[in-house]
Structure formats: structure tokens, C-alpha cells
Structure 1
Amino acid sequence: MLDLALKSRRVVCPDGVREAVVVLQGGRISHVLPHDAEPPGVPLVDVGNLAVLPGVIDPHVHINEPGRTDWEGFDTATRAALAGGLTTLVDMPLNSAPVTTSVANLAIKRAATQGQLHCNVGFWGGVVPGNAGEIEPLITAGVLGFKAFLTHSGIADFPNATEADLRQVMPVLARHGLPLLVHCELSDDNDAWKQNDHRSYPNYLASRPKEWEDDAVAMMIRLCEEFRCPVHIVHLSSANSIAPIAAAKAKGLPLTVETGQHYLYFNAKDIADGQTQFKCAPPIREKANNDQLWAALQSGIIDFVATDHSPAPPDLKQLESGDFATAWGGIASLQLALPVLWTAARRRGATLPDLARWLSENPAKLAGLSQRKGKIAPGFDADLVVLDPEKTFVVSEEMIQHKHKVSPYICQELAGVVELTFMGGEQVYQRPAFTHLNQGKLLTR
């Protein structure tokens, strides 16, 4: 492992942006020195005015391997991560087959990573009806926490959990201090909307109303208060839930919240009928709603932003028919996590330290990695991204490393070009080439 020093006029540290030299030794950050320092015995790489940030951590990714590797896989997903400045992913327990609801299934998933892990990856376990007996063994096996759906997941072997199921597992998670991540929609079974125009985005949007989310969030706040189990609301899209979330946090409940890049970058008016590449659940809502999500993120009520990268082959996205009723719901965006958020954020006066907090520091806390990842500070892992924040690019299919080149961001002009990615002190990506693959490690809590 080659030790080196990285010099920049814009190093994003926990206390703000500073001119500094970051010394990388033994896979960690050993020192953050003044800009004029010349540490002896290590090569000095001067990146000038390019920004140096902690590597991006995305704790909401569907990699889908094994079982649905034709949708995505560890090789393509972790390559895309490096190209986007992401150094750590946490894989969701579903869309793969088998799903991560038992220790045996976790072992199968870990085995599938062999020889194709290019960034660090951890795993969430799953909570489904009937697997309460697997929760403690999965904790012992090293999962970082657990995920549950309150509505149909779209995958038959990952059914939604009921309140009774959660009541079985939340005391266990509270005892261990592990988070329960929840897809918050309490759906009714009204499919009447499918009798209307399947290509209509307003029709699809109306089919998953804010009330579904709001009722589910209210239930999770109530259970969080009862059990004092850490609860994390994934991909919040309904701004109606912001006030109750703020009130719960003010009471000191162990509640955290993420939203997705697509809920901040797009709004419903951006989506034409038939554009199923935008389909996700919960759906992308009206602009006023998005503005409220931004305000909650900037005030700290929403803790961070994660992609919910959920790719599928073009035929499953129904790109030709434009049928929202049958299209797979999921936004493919892993490689673009940083520039999408930065493009939208800088229009609202956000700063590079905001970006580091929303994409690195706070996600590290959820995953139980905050003692070693998510900050540029001595003792932390040397996972870094070198970014040109002013440079822009237009998203093209050719540059995307995801297995399928389907994304609503195609042809969007984004700000923030990832020039270099370092992982564990190793340079693993220098635009546009990968320089050191197969350096990823499996992460356990």
C-alpha cells in the first residue's frame, strides 16, 4: 500500500473547508496538516483548487445479486460507485434471490461478492412475517441493521411486515442498538386507478397518496417511542410528515430520516406521460412538496440523502409501452448520487460541507460506521473523493457503469465531476478509468 499526501485548497473537514494537506498512511488518514506542509517520506499529490471530500456512503442500494444479476450485480454496481465517488454501499435485503432474511441467505449473498467487490459493502437484514427467530442470529452474523416494508415490496418472497411483526423484533433491535429501516406506506388495496390511463403520470401519482406515507410514519413514531428502538424512515417523499417527524425528534426519540435525490431534483411537472423511467414508490410529487423536503433537509429534520438505486432491465421498466401500472418501480442513479444532489443543492445556497454531511457523515452514523468513515479527520479510513464542483457534464448512456443504461437523468446537465476516488488510501479511480479494482471489503457492525 503506497502512502501519500493529498494537497488541496478546498479540503472539506468536519469544521469546514480549509487549505490543507491530508496524509494517508496504512489505509487511514494520519494527519491533516497546513497547506504549506511537506510531509517527509511520502509522495505529494497537489490537486490545486479541486475539492477533497470524504467518500460518499450510500446506505440504500439494491444490488440484486444473486438471483437477479441480470438486473444489476456486485461488479457493475461497485464499479458505478467508484466512478461516482462512492466508497461504501449498504445493500438492501431484497430484489436478490434469496432475500437476506436468514443467516443462510446472508452467507449466499456474501459468497456472491467474491472477486467482484470494487468498493466496501455491508448488508441490511430483512424483517418479514415469520422470521423473528432469525433476527438475533443475523445480528451475530454482522448485519448493520434491518429493513421492513409496510406495503407490498414488489417481490413475492419479501412480504410486508405488520405491526405485530414489528412488535416482535423491535425489542431485540432496541437491546442491540441496531436500526430498523422502514418503507413507510400503509396502502389500501384500491387498484381502481389501473382502470384509467396507464400512461398518465398524474394518475399514477394519485394512486399512492401522501396519506399512505403519513399514516405509516405516524405508526413508526408511535412504535419508536414505545420501544425506544432506533427507527429510520427511508426515502421520505411526503412533506406532510415533516412536522410530526420534527416533533418526534424534539422529544428525543431515536428517529432518523432520509430522502432520495430524485425527490429533490425532479418534481411531478418534469414527468411526461409514459416516462416510466421516473416510476418509483413513493412517487415523485409536486414542486411545493419538494420545496418543503429541501427546507427539512437544510434544517436537519431530514438527516441525509440516499439513492434507493433500484435498477431493472428496460423491458421491466416498460419503456416502450409507458405503462405505469406494470412498470418496475425504481430509479437507477447510483453513479450520479453526488452530482445530482450537488446540482440541485448549490442552486439553494448549499455548501460543500452540507454535501459531506448529507452524503457521508450522517449515512455513516446510520450504518454504525461513524467512528471510522464519513469524515476527513485523523484516524478515519482514507476513503476520499476529489471533485471539481464547478465543472459540468451531460449524462450519457456511454458513461454509465450500471448494468442497464436506464435512468431519468440521461441528458441532464449536472455540476460536479468526480476526478479521483481513493479507498483505504489507494487510488481506485482516475476519470475516466478504474486504476485499482477488487479492493472492496465486506463490512460488519
Structure 2
Amino acid sequence: MRENLSRMDCFVRPFVTYSTHRSLRLFQCALKTASSTLAYTKRRPWRQSWLRASFQSNTYKNSVDPIPAFNNVAVAEESAQMDVRNKVLLKGLTLEKMQLWLESLGEKRFRALQLWKWLYQQQGGGVDNFASMTNLSKQFREKLEQVAVVDSLKLENVYEAQDGTKKLTFRLKNRDSGLGGGVVESVLIPNESWVTLCVSSQLGCAQRCQFCYTAKMGLHGHLHTAEIVDQVVIAKRLFEKEKRISNVVFMGMGEPLHNIDNVLTAIEILLDEQGLHLSHNKVTVSTSGLVPEMERLTKETKVNLALSLNATTDEVRDKLMPINRKYPIQVLLDTVKRIYTHERSKQKLFVEYVMLNGVNDSLEDAKRLHILLAGIPCKINLIPFNSHEGADFESSSEGKIQLFYNYLTQRGHYVFTRESRGQDKMAACGQLGKPRRLSLTKNKYDSQPL
């Protein structure tokens, strides 16, 4: 008996710190409970389904990134993002967390700023390997090589459109086989005096907006913080010699607020004065309307918020954007009205409105939009629909868009029409991604909305 107890001690010890006999009894009781639970679920298939759905829901809600076994307790409590080889993705760490992480490796805190500058400031976008970090000792670089990764993405292709827009495709090189085959896309949009980079926050999207090509992919996974930041860093490294990238918009693949933890950390890194030092006025996060996450974003950061509205009645928006069934138009607008008349009284909300012929572009829609947005400090962005394979929607005509524009501006709204960029390379708004299957036809959509 004493021999058996010693063998079991390593399993029992986490439960209690009392006597070994007491621990063994608790462990045996736990085994009995687990066995009965498994038998119960085995007899009831629906129970298995419910448990599986519950697990997936909890996993989805919370970060599933593994926690590294750091010596520093403060760092160990945070979910540091790792690659498939269990190496830390450096661009997923804020400067403060990098200091703690290096301390856990036995290094001095000041090393963090040295490393940070090589990641973000040197050569207009940092370096892509440890060997280039010449002011770090060889021993330190070799240690970093063993435990960390510089770039989390691999640039695959650059597609340049006739108007100068560039679509960048990145492979998720540090993931396991379940997601490692995925390709995420960013878009570099040059203007006369600035360059905007449109970044992705997810591989695919779960929101099922009927006019968006990315939505037809479904959701394959959240991007790590490092994979969001690397879209900016690699683009700066390659193209900033031509013109500075001053604006970043989270309007690529995915719903940014569905991946809010990683997006907020990425924003903190992008704005850091010691790093990329972007202005919060030059960073915009677009959302289909996840109300709790909208409130969290506006409390935790000062970056711009863009609400993708696209309809003036719940009946139409329910069909176009299924998220509306959870957060209908009035709930959305009551929320942003409170935010932008109190907490953000010095800023304006961006309202995005995709113009769909015969769906949301009538004069009655313009009148309703005017009433809905009354009292909300905002800028209205009219977006001509960009067609894609399998789309049964059409863009509103220039004449209809102009009438819509005129009606709203005459009533005091600040309105501008977004120019479609990069259409010939599938780089325009709503054209990113590679779905494996197409959504319902428009006729089926009218009668059986998803």
C-alpha cells in the first residue's frame, strides 16, 4: 500500500497539501466522479454535443494561446503567444511584458528596449533576424534564437493594381497544420500625401455579412497579436522608403472586435512612442456592431471607431448582417450616441454605408439615415459595392449615390464617398480572402437569409 501511495503521490499532490492518505482518497473520489460523467455522456449523444459546443464556446471566448512556463510570475499570468515550436512571438509582447520576459530569462530589463528598437525602428520596419541585431552580444542573440521568433508572417506575394494599390498576401508560418496553411491579406493604399495600410485581424470571418467576400470563408481562426503587428512592420520594411505609412485601418479580413484582446494589444504596440509611434488619430477599427466590445474599445484606447451600418431598417439589416439580430440598429445607435456625446465628445464616429442597388440606396433610406444619426457626431462614408465571384448584389449607380450624398450634406451631415481602389486585383473593400464555397444566391437570400 505504501508503495502504491508513493507512485500516486505525483498525481494527488496538486489536489491538496494534507496527508498522502487524505490526498489518495480525494483522488479516488475524483476518478469515480469523472467515470460516471463519461458514462453519462456516452449514453446520451445530445449531451456530448452540448459539452462539445460549450467547450468550443468557452475556448472561442477566451484566448487559446498556450502560456509559457516563465519564471517571472507576472509574465506567467499573461497569455504570451507562441509558435508551433513553443517559441515566443516577440511582436506579441508589449515593451513592459518584454522586460518581464527577459528578466525571466536572466537578462537585464534594459535589454528589452535594445531588442524593441531592432524590431520596430531600425531600417524603417525593423530587421527579420537576430543576426542583424549587432549591438546585442552573440551569446544573447543565440539565446533569443532558441526561445523566440522575430517575424510571425512570411510574405508570399505582392499584387499591384493599376491605380497603385498593392495587395500583400502573408502565410501564417508559425502555426500548426490546422491553421498554418492559411493566407491572410493586407492592402497598401497610396494617396498623394500619405499611405494607408488596411490590416486583417482574423483568418476569414464569422459575421456572415452577405455583401462581403471574406464572410464566405467562414472563420478559420483569430490572428495572434504578432501576426497583426507584423502586417504593419513588414509593409513598412518593404515599402516605406517610397512613402511613409501613416494610417492603419482594421478593415481587412475578419471582425476586429471578435478578436478584441489581440487587437487591443496590437494597437498598444503600434502606438508605442518607442516603437512604430503611430498617432491614435491615424488608426481606425471597423466593426459590424459588437456592442460590448465597442464599449471596451472606446474605454481602453483612443483610436477611431468605424461602424459598418449599411441599412436603415432592422428588416434589411437582419438579412444583410446577421449580427443585427443580436444588436439591432437602435441598440447600436443608442450606444454610440452615449459614447460620442460623453466619453468621446471631442471625436467623431465613422459610419460606413455600402451602397447596394435596390436594397438600401433609396431616397427614403437617406431620410431614415438622417433621422437615425441625428445628435450623433459622425462622418458618413458612402462605399460603392465592390463586386466579386458569386455576388448577386450590384453597386448603386453614380447618380443614386450622388442623390444620397446631396440629401445628407444638405441637412448638415459630413459625408464623403470612398473611392474604390485595387478592384482589378481583388484588393478593394469587401474583396479579400479565398472562400471555398459561395453563399446563397440573391433569390435564396431574399427568402432564406442566413
Q: Which has the higher strand share?
A: 1
- Classify the TM-score, shorter chain: 0.3 to 0.5
Larger RCO of the pair (alpha carbons < 8 Å, separation 6+):
1
Q: Which has the larger radius of gyration?
A: 2
Q: Which has the higher helix share?
A: 2
**TM-score where L is the length of structure 1:** 0.35
**TM-score where L is the length of structure 2:** 0.35
